[in-house]
Amino acid sequence: MAKATSVFACQECGATHSKWSGRCDACGAWNTIIEESGNAEAARPGGLGKGRGKKIEFVGLATPADHQKPPRLPTGLAEFDRVAGGGLVPGSAILVGGDPGIGKSTLLLQVTAALAGSYRCVYISGEEAVDQVRLRAERLGLADAPVELASATNVRDIVASLDDAHAPQVVVADSIQTLFMDTLDSAPGTVAQVRASAQELIRLCKRRGIVLFLVGHVTKEGTIAGPKVLEHMVDTVLYFEGERGHQFRILRAVKNRFGPADEIGVFEMQDSGLSQVANPSALFLADRDRAASGTSVFAGMEGTRPMLVEIQALTAPTSFGTPRRAVVGWDSGRLNMVLAVLEARCGLGMGQNDVYLNVAGGLRISEPAADLAVAAALVSSLNGSVVPADTVVFGEIGLSGEVRPVSREDVRLKEAGKLGFKRAIVPETRGTKKERASKPAESANPREAAAQTVRIRHLNELLDLLAPRRASESASPTGLRPAARAES
């Protein structure tokens, strides 16, 4: 009989230690090491036991001619299918994480209700009773959906109920932190329980071809709680994001073995549940003040989708020795870099001002192409000028003040043209002049592409464009100072 022993596991990273300590040596987290029961035979490198294993069969890399790919399961929710890569793959495990109350359970209940007309769907809740799930379904107008409900937390019972010839096609486990294996002595939610429960359910879904949804809680840092190995075990990791004060919700694919990562789907939280947003750019710009200083429109890319959002900046003289920097929706380190470049390379006095930056609508931007739009909003707020309302801005800024080109410029400009934007401030690429001479003239239809493109090489040119205009320049048809090279 294997000798029972104890191990000390970190609840943040899953690293094990021989004894308890206040700080984990692997991840540096404090007060996260908890004693858990283990098995000395299983933990020993040679603990595979006696006897030989069964030989496995190897196959060629090339797909046989008679092999048919398993069909995807479309949910009917276009935004969700976009993030999933075109639909759900049978036998895949999908981990959905998000803040408490952001709408994870609502989203998955709507997904299972949409699929239940064609496939057998089971919703297992470890946090709510069956009647509570029914009340949510009634509020969402899904009370008549043929979704099978259950309230259970024991993984052994769940596997026994699903592992048969009539297994369902879709299973939702809400949430993985509430499930437990009765073969382990640790409490639900610990590293050992989360890892063992997920492994047992994933093994079942691979064997039976079940689409498995695992709902995961997040920590205060915004990452999925539990060991990082949980994200490596599943096929797809989706984050459901959003600000409590906004009605928009963003479903973002962080990992996807069956489709592109960094793809997003946009939803709007309403009384009747989550509704899809077909044109997120128009919705994010709906409440924009077109005559305010300190704002600019950024043409970004979220996965394969172009997205136009408003960048808002406010600068004010500080009343303390250390200026304050507050950022919502962007990287604070990236903001400090842009401020340093504006001060060191362009001579702007940013060090004596409090700076507040906000991405309107609750969207979180991570790509460096937003540097130039942020700089335009900061310069506009500092000198009181206004970025023309029909202008979009994008480009990456280097430490020497140069403006670097970004990818998918044509897609960004086309999306801006569809929304009625006629001008764009963009980086100058190496082949700009050669391409401009060889390519045919762009369409004059503002709904097909931005009509005028102003290309700049350095941040100083942006300052010339956004400098307060004199009375003699107020009649300029572009609304921009004529110092930069323009492509029309």
- Is residue 414 a contact partner of residue 305, using CB atoms and an 8 Å limit? no
pLDDT tens over the chain, length 488 residues: 455 567 888 877 778 888 888 998 888 888 878 777 655 444 444 444 556 788 888 988 887 877 777 789 999 999 999 999 999 999 999 999 988 888 999 999 999 999 999 999 999 999 999 999 999 999 999 999 999 999 999 999 999 999 988 999 999 999 899 999 988 877 888 888 888 999 999 999 999 999 999 998 876 666 665 657 788 899 999 999 887 677 889 999 999 999 888 899 999 988 888 999 888 888 888 878 777 899 999 999 988 889 999 999 999 998 887 899 999 999 999 999 999 999 999 998 888 899 999 998 888 898 999 999 999 999 999 999 999 999 999 999 999 999 999 999 999 999 999 888 999 999 998 655 544 444 443 444 444 455 589 999 999 999 999 987 544 444 454 556 655 455 54
What's the pLDDT at 438?
Answer: 41
Distance CA 164, CA 170 (A): 14
Query: In Å, how far from its chain's centre is CA 3?
Result: 45
Structure token pair of residue 475: 């009649």
Print the SS3 string covering the chain. CCCEEEEEEECCCCCEECCCCCECCCCCCECCEEEEEEEHHHHCCCCCCCCCCCCCCCCCCCCCCCCCCCCCECCCCHHHHHHHCCCECCCCEEEEEECCCCCHHHHHHHHHHHHCCCCCEEEEECCCCHHHHHHHHHHCCCCCCCCEEEECCEHHHHHHHHCCCCCCCEEEEECHHHCECCCCCCCCCCHHHHHHHHHHHHHHHHHHCCEEEEEECECCCCCECCCCHHHHHCCEEEEEECCCCCCEEEEEEEEECCCCCCCEEEEEEECCEEEECCCHHHHHCCCCCCCCCCEEEEEEEECCEEEEEEEEEEEEECCCCCCCEEEECCCHHHHHHHHHHHHHHHCCCCCCEEEEEEECCCCCCCCHHHHHHHHHHHHHHHHCCCCCCCEEECCEECCCCEEECCCCHHHHHHHHHHCCCCEEEEECCCCHHHHHHHCCCCCCCCCCCCCEEEEECEHHHHHHHCCCCCHHHCCCCCCCCCCCEEEC
What's the pLDDT at 282?
Answer: 84
- Is residue 18 a contact partner of residue 8, using CB atoms and an 8 Å limit? yes
Q: For residue 274, which of 93, 419, 98, 132 has the smallest C-alpha distance?
A: 98
What's the pLDDT at 47?
Answer: 47
What's the pLDDT at 333?
Answer: 94
Judged on CB neighbours under 10 Å (0-12, 13-18, 19+), 231 is middle
What's the pLDDT at 52?
Answer: 78
Amino acid identity, residue 456? I
How many CB atoms are located within 10 Å of the residue 23 CB?
A: 13
What's the pLDDT at 283?
Answer: 80
What's the pLDDT at 285?
Answer: 86
